[in-house]
Chains A and B, each alone.
Chain A
Amino acid sequence: MSNDFQNASRRRFLRNSLAALAGGAGFFGAPQSLSLINSAWAQQRGAECGGDYKALVCVFLLGGNDGHNLVVPRGNVEYGHYAQRRRGLSIPQAQLLPLQAQGAPFALGLHPAMTRMANLFNTGKMAVIGNVGALLQPVSRQQYDDRTARLPPQLFSHNDQQAFWQSLQVRSPTDITPATGWAGRLAELIQDSHNPCGRLTMNLSLAGANPFQAGSASEALSVDSGPIRAVESDREPGAVAELEAVYALGQGNPLVEEYRRATRSAIDNYAVLREVLAAAPALPTVFPPAPEAGDPPSARFAYALGSQLRRAAELISVRAALGQRRQIFFCSLGGFDTHDAQSADQPELLSGLDQALAAFHQATRDLNVENAVTTFAASEFGRSLTSNGDGSDHGWGNHLFALGGAVNGGRVYGAIPDLSPGSTDFAGDGNLIPKLSVDQYGATLARWFGVSDAALLDLCFPNLANFSVRDLGFLA
């Protein structure tokens, strides 16, 4: 069966399934049971346990990282504009780490705390995605300024933009909490075709509950970066069996039942994790150690994120025992809401990020999966170009990056904006208007991960159809 034929028949199948579900997809659409559609599809074509392996690793920078100081124009003219508009927040030109960006219209530099990432960029392992942000459709400066633009709900609000970034949709016009996240939908689309033998859910969170990995009929497993615990009672072991029996009893009150179900599932999943991790060889990679008194704050950040990424690497190393051909990891690092003391705090945060990411990248090499693991940065929004004295405020468009052996690195996708006083990249109120959407960014990652069908990508990324470029091209 040719690929074209297969895709066409899959589209037909999907169309019929969607019609059967009788609910329109899209921004305000009711949650669809993607896994239902998909499992029926997988049954038609027959699924396999073995095959290629891939992982996506989301590193969410909570608070809104200041992208204007992550990737900075280094050419004299462009740097001059930057320094002029960023009084009190600007990084000295000579300290910027040169990026050898192919095809960039002017010289660029990376934040001086990101030495390891600059090296990975210059060796082609890392790509910068310039001016990406939350959009429902392309927005012009005029539309934004005269308030006719159709916009995601509650731009500039941390929690709402974290939710939107991760979900790209809302429950309804009156309830903007996320129903499902795009990683949750992505997992449900390919669970049966790629992880039919998975002993755990494809979505593994190293950073607790998140909208990103919530599916309509699946959920993420939160994995602690420390010991994987079991319910135990060392002085009265017999009581634990009784507890487990209590957790087998269904409950009437939905809150009680949810608590029961969540705990029951935790006990079962952690039993699998304990068994599998106990049999795994130790990871050879050195990750940032626990901070000690007197260490700079960067040590704390490196450890906070590094511990999550180390556990992710361990879970990658046991992918065969877990029966997983596909894994999606969610990690986060907090503290990027630099309204205050940005010039002191952001370098520490970025240094910690740099150390943790470099260790993780090395781990993927040590595990021989460098080309199979793509790590990507996320953050709810960028920050104001204008200083508030010693910090920056909530913004919109932002610069992000992707990292890994499959990344077509050493390039900027999209563009670093014009920072001159007359720039039309910024709205009248000073906000940077994104040129690329999170839907496009995510769809690029999802296509590489295994979803090539256009209709399925549109299900996963409900605003993608509003953009002409469906793949930003930063992945092979």
Chain B
Amino acid sequence: MRLFLRALVLLAGLWPALPAFAAELVFRDGFETSLRPATRGEAARFLTQATFGPSDSTVDALAASDYAAWIQAQTALPPSFVLPYMRTQAGIGNPLEPIPFHYFRQAWFVRVLDAPDQLRQRVAFALSEILVVSERGNALGNDGLALGAYYDILLRNALGNYRQLLEDVTLSPAMGRYLSMYRNRKPDPANNIQSDENYAREVMQLFSIGLVKLNRDGTPVLVNGQTVPTYDGDVVRGFARVFTGWACHCGPGQPCPADPFPVEPFTCSTEHEMVPYENYHDQGEKRVLDGVVLPAGVTARAELEHALDILFQHPNVAPFVSRQLIQRLVTSNPSPAYVERVASVFENNGQGVRGDLAATVAAILLDREARTPQPDSAAFGKVREPLLRLTALWRAFDVMWENDELFPNDREIHETHNQSPLFSPSVFNFFSPAYAPGGALADAGKVAPEMQIITASFAISLANDVSNRVFWGYRGGPMDEFDDRVRLIQLQRWEQALRPAAGENEAPAGAVDRLLDRCAELLLGGRISPALRSRIRSRVLALPADEPLRRVQNAIYLMATSPEFAVQR
């Protein structure tokens, strides 16, 4: 890893010293992609993919650096975890004490809006939509402790290794409860009881290899025109018996039962990873993937390590994970070649390491397909996730707040956005990576996953949300005095730039065009259609010049509600 980072540092100056893969990322097929953003718009476009949204200050910082150095610096930043923050906010010292879930939402917004480790935060959020647990459902209701601890696992491993991530997730009490591996026990034939198949099935289908064998470029392997299943029911039953014998950790002095299996012990930690109880682990022989047989007589942990190794080494993992990360960060319909380039780095970071997520993420962001603006005909980009629309708007206009607590509407953000962190309706996430709305997109074989949650009612409420943020929730505006928990955008300097000079009746020469250009940089990566620009410009000029704030607000409102903003390209 360290070698890889050093390579990135050297990228700008010392080409011959580059490991081969890094060179291929940036220069290939005789095609050269600039290492630095050529414009502020390009910098903003990169930050839209890699963070929770660009702001003037982060654009400035990136413009003074280059992409690779920025990634290196981000990777080196310590994680801004959520659980310690949640405990402080809730005034809780006892590590076993439950924490209400709303502290997690608060922590999430504070981190994504403010934390310096934006790349890690963005990747962790993407992972939370692949390795899904949710407060919704019967298992984790209002369990902020378990869910905050889970999100910290994602933050810790977001730029680490996928194998470690898979293990930490597997043994987390949150996942244990969500997919019922927690207290899963060996079969009991006398009582006609089999092992729980839930985690065994979903860890394969959703967290590692998927349903059918894949080529490295993410396309399905075809035999006689048919896809090839990765596993069958026997394999599920085999893994179900692997994942037996795990329950909660009981620390010194904690009032836990010696055997937590017969009765659910609510006194156990939901933060500490689960621990094995060998009496409940199936020590028999098991057939798992591709005919591999796990021998009898192996302890719970050793067998779990072996099983996760088998999953992690499966050829599907690299394209399966890479493609979904590309979809979450850059584009819904990556070319097979793009997937293959990233999957190759997942398989080998250049130092022989498999599953290096920092290298994988760098490969995603530095790839030519991500960095070169694509023509409209390519259907490039992704519909912004509803939460990411909001964070982009806030960050673009220097969001500030006095009290970390969330304003009640933001605490129930799913009611307006149909999305809230760790709040998916099921383990299948808010939307499917394969979702295609009917019509032209589906006919062209393209997907638009995020459209699955932007139904009619939410298309309307997302537009109205922009109105609320821009016309109500700004520094000095009506919500500022009303409640110190409201997140406020800051428009003062934008307003100032548009204010007519003393004795003048019009905005300074060129000020309206500069306003539009700079808003378009931050919100649209500098790429605004002439039609949209012209319409917004007419609207702004039709408003009185002595109401510069109103002019700024109208420009932002129309740009941030536009279909062009709705899709990050």
Contacts and interface: CB of A to CB of B under 8 A. Distances in A.
A255 B569 CA distance: 10
Contacts of A219: 437-439
A105 B348 CA distance: 63
A239 B554 contact: yes
B222 A174 contact: yes
Given A209-B452, A393-B197, A254 B440 contact: yes
A458 interface: no
A393 B138 contact: no
A54 interface: no
A246 B562 contact: yes
A266 B438 contact: no
A209 B435 contact: yes
Interface stretch (A122-130, A154-162, A351-359): A154-162
Contacts of B569: 253, 256
A32 interface: no
A157 B455 contact: no
Contact of B471 (A85, A230, A235, A265): A235
A256 to B, nearest CB: 5
A388 to B, nearest CB: 4
A295 interface: no
A254 B563 CA distance: 11
Interface stretch (B17-25, B78-86, B283-291, B372-380): B372-380
Given A221-B456, A242-B539, A243-B561, A173 B225 contact: yes
A393 B185 CA distance: 14
B459 interface: yes
A226 B461 CA distance: 12
B567 A246 contact: no
A245 B535 contact: yes
B441 A391 contact: no
B94 interface: no
B314 interface: no
Interface string A260-272: 1111011101100
B379 A253 contact: yes
Interface residues of A, number: 86
B141 to A, nearest CB: 9
Interface stretch (B1-9, B396-404, B442-450): B442-450
B225 A389 contact: no
Contacts of A146: none
A258 interface: yes
Interface residues of B, number: 90
A234 B557 CA distance: 13
Residue among A245, A249, A388 facing the most chain B CB atoms (10 A cut-off):
A388
Interface in A163-197: 173-174, 176-177, 179-180, 184
Contacts of B144: none
A334 B425 contact: yes
Contact of A254 (B196, B441, B472): B441
Interface stretch (A70-78, A280-288, A337-345, A468-476): A337-345
Contact of B554 (A160, A236, A267, A429): A236
A231 interface: yes
Contact of A233 (B220, B467, B566): B467
Nearest to B264: A341
A275 B230 CA distance: 52
B567 A255 contact: yes
Nearest to B178: A340
Given A235-B471, A239-B554, A84 B139 contact: no
A258 B197 contact: no
Contacts of B203: none
B448 A258 contact: yes
B381 interface: yes
A106 interface: no
B56 interface: no
A173 B193 CA distance: 36
B535 A242 contact: yes
Contacts of A314: none
A63 B195 contact: no
A233 B464 contact: yes
Contact of B439 (A209, A221, A258, A429): A258
Given A174-B227, A231-B464, A262 B451 contact: yes
B563 A256 contact: yes
A384 B459 contact: no
Contacts of A111: none
A50 B455 CA distance: 31
A136 interface: no
A231 B563 contact: no
A257 interface: yes
B558 interface: yes
15 contacts: A156-B233, A174-B225, A179-B442, A228-B457, A236-B550, A239-B558, A246-B558, A251-B529, A251-B564, A255-B446, A266-B455, A266-B456, A339-B197, A389-B183, A391-B198
The 5 tightest CB contacts between A and B, nearest first, are A252-B376, A266-B456, A222-B455, A224-B457, A260-B563
